Amino acid sequence: MGNEIIPIVSSTSGKPSTAGTPARAIPVHAATTTIIPPASEVILQCCIQDTDATYSTLLSDGSVLTPEGIMVAPAVSQKHRPLLFLSNPTDSPKVIYKGQKITTAQPVCELPNGVLTELPQCF
């Protein structure tokens, strides 16, 4: 006990693992130009250009916009009206421009029991 080595990743098939690889990364863009005051947070209306009708819910990635230093919180939102929570921890106002890529998102689906899951990957 205490000296055991526990493998956290294993591959027995010989194929590279796709765990953690998004099924499909969809760019999420700002729908309007917004000024984020210093040391504040905003909810930003966003848009996507994806027209795939097989899903309606997105899981967006958390990230940091560089060089602005704006933090983007991960979120689950509707495809037709994606909203993102942005934080400006700096001491100067930051501008997010209409059409600026904010993050990426992956489609998710809701199972009959209410659980959200990633769409199966197709190869």
Task: Tell me whether residue 104 is in a domain.
Answer: yes
Task: Tell me whether residue 114 is in a domain.
Answer: no
List the chain pLDDT tens, one digit each, 123 residues. 556 655 554 444 444 434 444 457 899 999 999 999 999 999 999 999 876 777 788 889 889 988 889 999 999 888 888 999 999 999 999 999 999 999 999 888 777 787 767 665 543
Domain tally, the chain: 1
Tokens 């990743």 sit on residue: 9
Would you list the DSSP string of 67-119? TTTEEE--EEEETTS-EEEEEE-SSS-EEE-TT-EEEEEEEEEE-TTS-EEEP
The residue segments making up the domain with residue 39 are 35-108
Task: Tell me whether residue 91 is in a domain.
Answer: yes
Q: Model pTM? A: 0.71
Task: Tell me whether residue 6 is in a domain.
Answer: no
